């Protein structure tokens, strides 16, 4: 279950590490939340968003500024099993995006508001409980 917020889920950013994942996830999110604007950031765009003209790895200021300007109130980070969601999760945290979902393969503190693995298990438990009560 998504957390309750003061405002409706109106703008969501989806970070995907593959084109196939991004398309399937975008379709599913639009079906789940038809009134929500979904912005997909594909791998090439992620690299561009995080690039820095100096020798630093990430231009945090530019990336945070862009995310804040878009006024997203949720983010979904789809990462592979060998990738960490925490750079993008931290970026979204710094941009004040209140709902940050991603697949966590290691401990990451409070950067993600929800781990999608736990979220999926919670949904399965809810379905099992509903079917038992019928």
Q: How far is CA 110 from CA 38, 60, 92, in A?
A: 24, 19, 12
pTM of the model: 0.75
Q: Is the pLDDT assigned to residue 9 strictly greater than 60?
A: yes
From CA 88, how far away is CA 127, in angstroms rounded?
Answer: 31
Segment 66-114, tens digit of pLDDT: 999 999 999 999 887 778 888 888 899 999 999 998 887 776 567 888 8
State mean pLDDT over 40-62: 74
pLDDT at 61: 85
pLDDT at 46: 77
Write out pLDDT tens, residues 24-49: 888 888 888 889 999 988 877 777 77
Its CATH architecture, for the domain 11-133, is: 3-Layer(aba) Sandwich (3.40)
Domain assignments of the chain as residue spans, ordered by start: 11-133
């Amino acid at each position: 279950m998504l957390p309750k917020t003061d405002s409706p889920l109106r703008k969501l950013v989806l970070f995907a590490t593959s084109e196939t994942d991004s398309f399937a996830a975008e379709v599913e999110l639009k079906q789940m939340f038809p009134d929500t604007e979904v912005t997909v950031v594909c791998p090439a765009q992620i690299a561009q968003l995080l690039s820095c003209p100096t020798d630093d790895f990430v231009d945090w200021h530019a990336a945070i500024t862009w995310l804040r300007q878009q006024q997203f109130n949720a983010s979904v980070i789809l990462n592979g099993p060998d990738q960490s969601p925490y750079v993008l999760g931290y970026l979204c945290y710094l941009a004040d995006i209140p709902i940050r979902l991603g697949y966590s393969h290691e401990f990451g503190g409070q950067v993600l508001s929800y781990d999608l693995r736990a979220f999926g298990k919670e949904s399965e438990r809810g379905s099992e409980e509903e079917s038992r009560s019928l």
